[in-house]
Amino acid sequence: MQESSPITAIKGIGPKSAENFQKAGIATVQDLISYYPRTYDVCEDPVPAGGLTVFDDGRLVAVEGRIERALSVRYLRSIKITSGKILSGGVYLDVTWYNMPFIRSQVRPGAVYVFRGRIRAKGSRIFLQQPKVYELYEYEQLKKTYQPVYPLVRGLTENALRKALREAFFGADPLDLSEDYLPPDMLGKYDLAPRKDAVRGIHFPNDTQTLQMARRRLVFEEFFFFILMLKQMRESRMHRKSACRLLPAAQTDQVLGSLPYELTGAQLRVWKEVSADMASDAVMARLIQGDVGSGKTIIAFLALIQCAANDMQGALMVPTEVLARQHYDAFCRLCQMAALPYEAVLLTGSLKVSQKRAAYEKLESGSASVVIGTHALITEKVAYRNLALVITDEQHRFGVSQRETLESKGRTPHTIVMSATPIPRTLAVILYGDLDVSVIDEMPASRLPIKNAVVGASWRPKAYQFIARQVQEGHQAYVICPMVEESEEIEAENVIDYAQSLQKSLQALSGGITVEYLHGRMKASEKQSVMDRFASNEIQVLVSTTVVEVGVNVPNATVMMVENAERFGLAQLHQLRGRVGRGSAQSYCIFVYGIENDAVKKRLDILASSNDGFEIARKDLELRGPGELFGVRQSGELNFQLADIYADAPVLQAAGDAAADLLREDPDLSSKYGQQVARHMKVLASSAGNHDVL
């Protein structure tokens, strides 16, 4: 069996089963073995029920005990609830299952089992929720082993994935993994495991050491090929001359003069760098990095105006339709304030066919100088008359290949990449190896620091009172929930039910408060309608999922309340917090945690103590430490499958050194191992649709 073989080459996977695998982006055997676990489940020793308290709420535990009486089944609306009591060490512990009535016949009264699930607290009462049930000998076998847990899609189960992987590695026709992409001297220099051991070890680790070894090799490999490609891109760019010099223009000074504020020193410094780059003979490729609210967007607008003033076209690509509409409206207002004649068009996937056609015609004829939109900018139907500037906002949400597709629609256009991801400069230079780096390291003077609070769920009524008072003063609020609809297995607030209950609570405190909800499953037109009404203060409180995370700008919003804050990463919470504090009024962020334990509170307190994204990232790394990662991706930045840019910083540095050494010794990748590296880079590039880092 070869890595290029279709998934149906694996025994037991027929055409129907293959459809379920393909939903997860698994079409070939290579796709399967690179479908890494998202975490690992480690079965620990059972704990006595008598030692559990309400402070263990949310903790995953195993309890050895006896079911004294047959389980009971009752109905609550459409939910079947199976419940009973475990006798463990002389103490009874309630146990509950949802929609699993069959468990009643599987658990025999009087028999001893190990029950493994999460402790839940309701008031002073605790119970074990949705536990898996194991025979004693069965659980003893599982103890201290690492069970991979995979990201799943409908129709694809953990068991199906594990069975397919076991067949691929250990079946009658096992996968040939003898070829290694990396040279032997590189493996030795950086203490890396052979690829065949790493790929097997990440899916079937025997112990902690095996898992750490496997993960380190695969993280190194992921970084290495990413950096190698960027270095080649940079080398190629440095030999290209610009086909469109964009000279400084008086129109940008008109814009600066019309602004109701002055740029910070950092903004002015970065703008000078960008303006000089666009006017030079070389093709600009620059990263503008700045914390949320530091003012990156105005730099992008100035660059678009300098481009238009030179009778050329500029494009700004953003990750969401809501943000695209917001930037489009803001750019049009800016041109009106400065009395500039440039026409901009909006291009997103949800526009009507007639609207898209009109935008295409304006771009192809050149009558539109600026286009702002989503990935719709890179579809085949879009043709530009003279595209000279490409700007991508929140770069980590686009693959490098998508950026290249947009750039290919012009003649060596200048490129700006904007990111609010708090990456230390030393790492940014490696991760954005094809770009020059500019950092906006100063916040606008008019912005007051956000006041933060980390509180338990019992503080919620006070938070509602505070939101009501802010609305009475003319301000608005966001409330963020981690789910769209209620889940029976996960106790977390959800936007739809929450919005209804919040409306009642706020109406009881103060009349005339309108509450609406927003989530990613809504149609684009519905989302835009809600955001427009929120921006105009027709909606005072917006209950939303993280769809508002990126760039949404409502200066009148002064409160951000995040429910179940422990379910979000710190970087994501910092991004969410950036939606407030965008006006002149004092703003507040309330992080409400649903699980009461010291580790959760200590982690969230990092946010309460700082509004600096770079400092938050540093403290987060110190708190959890690289050793905690194993196979779990802690951060979502840059779409790496396994790698974590913070915790894996030493591996990132080593991979950068290795890539530089290889290109120095074999710049054309023409040696035996250079050719192997080049072949694998082509494989990665061709599969960028599934793993869009390259």
pLDDT value at position 489?
A: 39
Average of pLDDT values for 86-112? Answer: 92
Q: Say whether pLDDT at 626 is over 60.
A: no
pLDDT value at position 402?
A: 63
Model confidence, pTM: 0.67
| Domain at 44-143, CATH homologous superfamily | Nucleic acid-binding proteins (2.40.50.140)
Residues β-bridged to residue 149: 39
Q: Which among 445, 682, 479 is positioned nearest to 564, based on CA atoms? A: 479
Lowest mean pLDDT among 72-76, 96-100, 328-332, 677-681: 677-681
pLDDT value at position 399?
A: 55
Locate tokens 């308290």: which residue? 53
Q: Say whether pLDDT at 486 is over 60.
A: no
pLDDT value at position 107?
A: 92
Give the pLDDT confidence of 286-342 residue by residue, as tens digits.
989 888 888 899 999 999 999 999 999 999 999 888 889 989 999 999 999 999 999
* CATH 1.10.150 residue spans of the chain: 1-43+156-176
Top-confidence residue, 314 or 380: 314
- Neighbouring CB atoms inside 10 A of 405's CB total 17
Give the pLDDT confidence of 123-133 residue by residue, as tens digits.
788 999 999 99
Locate tokens 């956000």: which residue? 450
Name every residue whose Cβ is closer than 8 Å to that of residue 96 and which is 6 or more positions away in sequence. Answer: 81, 82, 83, 127, 128, 129, 130
Token digits for 614? 């770079």
Q: Which among 32, 37, 36, 12 is positioned nearest to 21, based on CA atoms? A: 32
Lowest mean pLDDT among 237-251, 581-595, 621-635: 621-635
DSSP 497: H
Token digits for 524? 């684009």
Give percent of the chain above pLDDT 70.
90
pLDDT value at position 113?
A: 95
Q: Is the dihedral of CA 213, 214, 219, 220 positive or negative?
A: positive
Calculate the alpha carbon distances from 653 to 423, 437, 626 in Å. Answer: 14, 17, 14
pLDDT value at position 550?
A: 58
Dump the DSSP string for 125-149: EEEEEEEEEE-HHHHHHHBT-EEEE
Give the pLDDT confidence of 564-589 residue by residue, as tens digits.
888 887 877 888 888 898 888 999 99
Average of pLDDT values for 589-618? Answer: 83
pLDDT value at position 687?
A: 58
Q: Which of 207-211, 216-220, 568-572, 591-595 is predicted most confidently? A: 216-220
Tell whether domain 242-440 is in CATH 3.40.50.300. Answer: yes
Average of pLDDT values for 137-158? Answer: 86
Which segments of 342-494 does DSSP mark as H helices, in order?
Answer: 353-365, 400-407, 425-431, 460-472
* Distance separating alpha carbons of residues 552 and 40, to the nearest angstrom: 35
Tell whether domain 1-43+156-176 is in CATH 3.10.450. Answer: no
Check if the beta carbon of residue 454 is closer than 8 Å to that of residue 601. yes
pLDDT value at position 549?
A: 60
* CATH 3.40.50.300 residue spans of the chain: 242-440, 451-625
Return mean pLDDT, the chain: 85
Check if the beta carbon of residue 76 is closer than 8 Å to that of residue 92. no
Strands 557-562 and 60-67: unpaired
* CATH 2.40.50.140 residue spans of the chain: 44-143
Average of pLDDT values for 457-462? Answer: 91
Top-confidence residue, 115 or 409: 115
The CATH code of the domain at 451-625 is: 3.40.50.300
Residues β-bridged to residue 94: 85, 127
pLDDT band at 685 (very low <50, low <70, confident <90, very high): low
